[in-house]
Amino acid sequence: MKIKIIGNSCTWTNRPNPQYLVNDEMLIDTPQSSTKFLFGSYDFEKLKYILITHFHSDHFADLHIIYDALKKRTKNLEKVTVVGPKTLFKRLMGMFKIFELGYRKKKDIKEVFNIIELKDGDKLTLGDYEIEMVRVKHNVKYPFGFILKQKGSSKTIGFSGDSAMCDGLIKIIKMSDIVFLDCVMSPANNIHLSADEILLLQKEFKGKMFYSTHHVPDQLPEKYQGKIILPPIGKTYQIK
């Protein structure tokens, strides 16, 4: 499995928000401002799947831009499957209306996207991928993370989305060999993981690989440097 880091930081920086490209065919989240970093370097003809963790703008808002990019495809006209929490289709329609793209009708979206709404614990097979959706803890109505396994790969990958410490987060970690977690430099709270909590998780779950995104890399205090791994933008990880 190949995972490319499209974005790794939080909204309040000049860097793109957390976004991951899996095997050049699956996007994890579609944050505002991050999609433009794909243009000129990514062929949207290859895109098959999109996973949405929750509906905050820094995880969801660029989906309409991807819709427009897909409408311009000339070769691969297969629908792109978009997987996310309950109300995904309704919110996408609302997005088109808010951004004055209201002329798009339901049938227009369904010509481009195959929308699948999941709930906690739901499992889904997409091509070579096995996907499980896991509810986590965040300040939105439907916060989720994903557990991803590809046929032929010995590794399972976990994506927390945005999450505080909770049972769902622990489940993702336990069931994954490699995890991408959000992290902030503030003290522990009910919205995001703190850096200290990341260190505790790394100590408890030795042998697993942790990558932390969402925080500001230039503001990483010295005591965390070399202990918390921030995957750099543009980095591609080859996972066997």
DSSP string, 95-131: HHHHTT-TT--HHHHHHHEEEEEE-TT-EEEETTEEE
- Give the pLDDT confidence of 134-185 residue by residue, as tens digits: 999 999 999 999 999 999 999 999 999 999 999 999 999 999 999 999 988 7
Which pLDDT score is estimated for 218?
60
Which pLDDT score is estimated for 199?
94
Rounded CA separation 79/154 (Å): 29
> Which residue carries 């290859």 as its tokens?
46
Which pLDDT score is estimated for 27?
98
- CB-CB contact of 94 with 65 (8 Å): no
Which pLDDT score is estimated for 219?
65
pTM score, whole prediction: 0.95
Strands 26-28, 236-238: pairing is unpaired
Other CB atoms within 10 A of residue 153 CB: 16
2-238 in CATH: which number? 3.60.15.10
